[in-house]
Amino acid sequence: MKVRVSPVLLGLCSSLLLLAQPSIGRTLDAITFTPAQAETTVEIVEKLGTRHYRDKILDDELSSRYLDLFIDTLDPGRSYFYQSDINQFERHRLQFDDFLKAGKLNVNFDIFDTYRNRVSSRLEANIAQLNDDEFSFDFERDESLKIDREEANWPADKQTADELWRKRLKSSVLSLKMTGKTIAEAKKTLTRRFNNQLTRISQQDGADAFEVVINSLTLLYDPHTSYLAPRTLENFNISMSLSLEGIGAVLQAEDEYTKVVRLIAAGPADKQGELKPADKITAVGQGLDGEMVDVVGWRLDEVVKLIRGPKNTTVRLDVLDANAGDGSSKTIRISRGKVKLEEQAAKKSTLELTDGEKVYKLGVIDVPAFYIDFEAYRKRDPNFKSTTRDVAKLVMELQAENVDGIVLDLRNNGGGSLQEATTLTDLFIDPGPVVQIRQTNERISRHYQSRGNAIYRGPLVVLINRLSASASEIFAGAIQDYNRGLIVGVQSFGKGTVQSLTPVKEGQLKITESKFYRVSGDSTQHRGVIPDIALPALVDLDVVGESSYDNALPWDQIHAAPHNRYYDLHSVIPTLEAQHQERVKDDPDFVYLLNQLSIIEDNRDVKTLSLMESKRVEEKSVLENKNLANENQRRSAKGLPTYASVEAMKNADKGGDGEPELASTAGGPPTGPAISPAANDSASVAAKADGDEETSADNDPLLHETGYILIDLIHAINTKENFKLANF
């Protein structure tokens, strides 16, 4: 039976709940849900129970977790609700399963309305405080603000909340002051931000509330299952059509911010190079000098609309650096454009390295995505474009050039066509299974198989990083399970699930229905692919990757599929690892990189933020001098001139005329580029514009070292007795 609830009754219930709470100033009109939303809720609950891969019962235990997630979604910083609000919500902790099954959303909407009123009241208080001429901040008072409030107590009362917000305001003003703004300018910026948030909170409607209410349920099943309201679905379809003109970044809402999830390979942001996964966008400006519009607290779709724009126009982004622990921001300028298929196409280059006795010519194939022109494929166009066809051509060209081995670079490859992951594997192995897929009903299929003989049988290394996901993990996992090649790099993302869209009464439900498994029986989910030889990770594995998501499906195993094993790699990996460690311990670029990562890690460990200006200035100076010392150590070791000051280094980074003082050249000739702490772990890290370092594809220390690992593998293949199977 479909449940229909009277909107009049819901409005009355909301009023009663609000009246039971402490006075919160101006009260916004209550939001109510519709009968169609009630029906949609019942339908979603039914589909989650019968079609989701995770067999989870909506019971009291899930009801309790639902309340926690719902509250955390609304107020993750524990700064708006009071403890008295939480006490009110606790009365319903074990009832939400019954409410949702019946489509009764009045309590859920009451909580949402309480949140809106708390936010509205707080924003008005903040604005009034900033506009009070007699109110000022003492920036020499030694106090601090706790950054992570995930486990903090809820404010006991208004007085406690006021003190928390005094510190938050002070921190925001100080951060803006340290970027060069005056106190008056900082207050103006924050006032504009709070007014924008106030407008948006007052404009929220039933569709906004319903999405939060339902997605607080879907996220309990897994992070990739979600409800798409009609408005959200429209944006989803635009992003999937690849007709979007923008910066080429996947974004998501996190707390009050818009967070960068990943960059689209060969997109404008990827090419520009400064924006990174986990960065948070705080403001968006149009053109070279358009006003920066503060977007903290905005809905994701509204932020996306600002970032989108016509091709060849400029957008400016103020972002909080994911690696900075001091709340500092930077402005990034990106020229909008389309991500073209040909720019995502696989490309080849060669790398010449020596082991001291012989010069090896190595082929490098960069595969930024698993793509296929489905329309041309369906029309039986013999020249349709795909990853496999492009890589096959490049492999044959490299073999004609007599390369000694091939590196297949899958760094930052977020996946794509499963069919292409399978057929690409087909180029390197003889017929056999590539991936296993287990459905909700536990039926396992092995339809995706390599069906032809390998076209390349030489030494192979696959290079991956944390942003190698989905189809990339299927390919890398198959190569590893067949012992066909060596996997080098960073533990991959761990996206091993498959989603489908199913219509509901209003909108659609994106639901996880199956799971990938390697031929070894290991899941790619959560754990990803573990490299045989690890390289430094340039992103925080705790905040980027499937394992960083709450309620991610776990790693598990099923039975292995029968498959060949081409090389006895396990017997030589310890030797290859030892050779790698010996080689990089004194390498200037690797020493620099490890030092830089250590500095970044120290920043990530910061739990409190000083609100004393002199301390903040000192902390910034210490960090900048650490970076300067690290950079000069690298330059000195490579026989390059060092920088006399932080300012000279900054000017050089910006292409200015900062003149480094000359240093000894005892370190020998240049061997590679500097790696900026902000650089993505990309397929080709460009050298710094020093004038004495060549900028080229092989100026990538991680790729450079991977080439040497491939040479070590070639030695092992050629010298170890019975290393290679007779039939390969």
User: Is the distance from CB of 208 to CB of 214 less than 8 angstroms?
Assistant: no
Give the pLDDT score at 340. Answer: 64
For tokens 């990538």, what's the residue? 700
Q: State the Cα–Cα distance between residues 353 and 230, nearest whole angstrom.
A: 55
Helix, strand, coil % in the chain, rounded to nearest 5:
40, 15, 45
CB atoms within 10 A of CB 235: 16
pLDDT band at 180 (very low <50, low <70, confident <90, very high): confident
Write out the two tokens for 639. 């026989």
d(CA 175, CA 177): 5
Confidence of residue 179 (pLDDT cuts 50, 70, 90): confident
Which of the residues 259, 347, 495, 638 is marked catalytic? Answer: 495
Candidates 75, 113, 321, 481; catalytic one: 481
470 tagged catalytic: yes
pLDDT at 672 > cutoff 70 = no
The band of 17, judged by pLDDT with boundaries at 50, 70 and 90, is very low
| Largest Cα–Cα separation, the chain | 85
**pLDDT(680) > 70:** no
Residue 445 has a CB neighbour count (10 Å cut-off) of 11
**Rounded mean pLDDT of 245-268?**
80
Q: Is 259 a catalytic residue?
A: no
Q: Cα(314)–Cα(172) distance, rounded to whole angstroms?
A: 27
Cβ atoms of residues 681 and 412 within 8 Å: yes
Query: What's the confidence (pLDDT) of residue 728?
Result: 62
Q: Which two tokens stand for residue 431?
A: 């017929």
pLDDT score of 156 more than 60: yes
**In the chain, what are the domains?**
7-218 (no CATH), 243-335 (2.30.42.10), 363-494+519-584+708-719 (3.90.226.10), 588-670 (no CATH)
Q: Which of 75-84, 601-610, 611-620 has the lowest mean pLDDT?
A: 601-610
- What's the pLDDT band for 444 if we cut at 50, 70, 90? very high
Residue 448 confidence class, pLDDT cut points 50, 70, 90? confident
Cα separation, 256 vs 331, in Å, equals 19
Mean pLDDT of 303-309: 86
Element (H, E) at 162: helix 158-177
| pLDDT-based confidence at residue 684 (cuts at 50, 70, 90) | very low
Q: What is the DSSP string of 71-135?
A: HHHH-TTS-SS-HHHHHHHHTTTTTHHHHHHHT--HHHHHHHHHHHHHHHHHHHHHHHHHT-TT-
Nearest to 366 by CA among 383, 339, 344, 399: 344
What's the whole-number mean pLDDT along residues 434-453?
91
pLDDT tens profile 537-557? 988 888 889 999 999 999 999
pLDDT, mean of residues 148-177: 93
Instruction: Please state which of the ranges 31-45, 149-163, 323-337, 517-531 shows the lowest mean pLDDT.
Output: 323-337
As a whole number, the mean pLDDT across the chain is 85
pLDDT of residue 668: 31
Question: What's the pLDDT band for 600 if we cut at 50, 70, 90?
Answer: confident
DSSP state of 648: H
Pairing label, strands 359-366, 436-439: unpaired
Residue 327 has pLDDT above 80, yes or no: no
pLDDT digit string (tens) for 567-596?
A: 989 999 999 999 999 999 989 999 998 999
- Whether residue 481 contacts residue 563, with contact meaning beta carbons closer than 8 Å, is answered with yes
What is the pLDDT, as a whole number, of residue 342? 61
Query: Stretch 103-119: mean pLDDT, rounded?
Result: 96
Structure token pair of residue 475: 């390919």
Share of the chain above pLDDT 70, in %: 85
pLDDT at 294: 85
User: What's the half-sphere exposure (Cβ side, CA atoms, 13 Å) at 310?
Assistant: 3
Residue appearing with tokens 């070894």: 520
Mean pLDDT of 24-43: 88
Q: What is the mean pLDDT of residues 31-43?
A: 96
pLDDT of residue 654: 61
Q: Residues 217-231: what's their mean pLDDT?
A: 93
Residue 424: what are its φ and ψ, rounded to 5°?
A: -65, -40
pLDDT in tens, 476-535: 999 999 999 999 999 999 999 999 999 999 999 999 999 999 999 999 999 999 999 999
Task: Tell whether the model's pLDDT for residue 186 goes beyond 80.
Answer: yes
| pLDDT value for 538 | 85
What average pLDDT does this structure show over 237-249?
A: 57
To the nearest whole percent, how much of the chain has pLDDT over 90? 58
pLDDT, tens only, 607-626: 889 999 999 999 989 999 99
**Given 14, 226, 470, 520, the catalytic residue:** 470
User: Does residue 342 contact residue 350 with C-beta atoms inside 8 Å?
Assistant: no
Structure confidence at residue 236 (pLDDT): 56
Q: Is 60 exceeded by the pLDDT of residue 365?
A: yes
